[in-house]
Amino acid sequence: MKETILITGYNGELGSKTLKKLVSMGKSIIALDINDPIEKIHSVSYIKDTITNYQLINSIFKDYHITKVYHFAALLSQTASQNPELAFEINEKASKNLIDCSYTFGIKNNCITRFFFPSSIAVYGPTKIENASEQDIIKPTTVYGNNKLIIEEYGSKLHEKSLSKNVGLDFRSIRFPGVISYDTVPTGGTTDYAPQMINNAKKGKKFECKLSPNTILPFIGIDKTITSIIDIMGLKTIESKLRVFNVQEASFSIKELSDFLLRKFPSFQITYNKDKNFQSVADTWPSSLNCEKANKFWNFSTEKNFEVFIKKIINK
């Protein structure tokens, strides 16, 4: 049976770009999303359904030889806080089921199913940390952060269980900071102000920011994000008990970003209307991340200069 990759949430920003990259590499792909494909690729097998359809998920593993899973389907931070019960069903329960199916498939077929899970800096808390390592204080204060941490731990536990038998699950995860794209403007996340602000500045539109100007958070560009996902999943093995890794390209305050955009786009205007829900979340997330482990295992490199980082995105 032909080896196949399963991607969930393929219509999202990370899912769609990872899908295209894997197609360019000649991979056989099954793509699952609750919506129809925004852009259809003839070589991809599309399924329109939800990851909470456990019968469907089980049948996919029964009918196909799934060697890798890229699990992007999720509710984002602010959306999850507004719908905690739905967040539990999608971000936790359905994710655990997908991990279980991957593990069971590996055991049954005497192989290892490689599983990628995009985690988030939302797992940190309750106070802001600078240069946060993977093993710093992890006490998330949000629904989304707790969802992510639970799956990090669940996947890592099954990974450890698989090691003794050398069959089952190979769990790999990256804790992403805010992701800034050059062609999409996301909503529903705490760090989405950055791509929204950049988009408005380029169009000469006014932007109302829900966070205070001195708020500092880490970010990564979409190209580096996708490269990191492909790189970590391309490793034959990761000789470490650590299964979750930090990445960032640059860390900066909202004022630094707005000042740069005001110089670059003189017609741009920004106002501040602090939202206590957004601010309370941002105040528990790290101001910067330590990426030494990612650098060690797949040569991940950061961009120290904030302006160089932003220029790359704007010019793209």
% of the chain exceeding 70 in pLDDT:
100
Strand 65-71 vs strand 112-120: parallel, antiparallel, or unpaired?
parallel
CATH 3.90.25 intervals, the chain: 179-219+249-287+303-315
| Average pLDDT, integer, range 234-255 | 96
Q: Which residues of 154-185 are buried (b: 16+ CB within 10 A; e: fewer)?
A: bbbebbeebeeeebbbbbbbbbbbbbbbbeee
Label residue 304 by pLDDT band (50, 70, 90).
confident
Q: In the prediction, which pLDDT does 2 show?
A: 79
Q: In the prediction, which pLDDT does 1 show?
A: 64
Please state, rounded to an integer, the average pLDDT across all residues of the chain. 94
Pick the CATH number of 179-219+249-287+303-315 from 2.40.160, 3.60.21, 3.10.590, 3.90.25: 3.90.25
Strand 65-71 vs strand 3-8: parallel, antiparallel, or unpaired?
parallel
| Average pLDDT, integer, range 262-280 | 94
Q: What is d(CA 122, CA 130) in angstroms, rounded to the nearest whole number?
A: 14
Does residue 186 have a pLDDT over 80?
no
Give the DSSP H or E segment for 152: helix 143-163
CATH 3.40.50.720 intervals, the chain: 3-177+221-246
Q: What is the pLDDT of residues 85-139, one digit of tens each?
A: 999 999 999 999 999 999 999 999 999 999 999 999 999 999 999 999 999 989 9
String of DSSP letters for 61-96: HHHSEEEEEEE-----HHHHHH-HHHHIIIIIIIHH
Q: In the prediction, which pLDDT does 117 show?
A: 98
Q: What is the pLDDT of residues 187-201, one digit of tens each?
A: 777 899 999 999 999
Q: What is the pLDDT of residues 7-54, one digit of tens each?
A: 999 999 999 999 999 999 999 999 999 999 988 999 999 999 999 999
Does residue 282 have a pLDDT over 80?
yes
Q: What is d(CA 187, CA 79) in angstroms, rounded to the nearest whole number?
A: 9
299 exposure class (CB count in 10 Å sphere: 0-12, 13-18, 19+): exposed
CATH number at 3-177+221-246: 3.40.50.720
Label residue 231 by pLDDT band (50, 70, 90).
very high
Q: In the prediction, which pLDDT does 80 show?
A: 87
Q: In the prediction, which pLDDT does 132 show?
A: 97
Enumerate the H helices of 204-305 as residue ranges: 222-234, 254-264, 276-282, 292-298
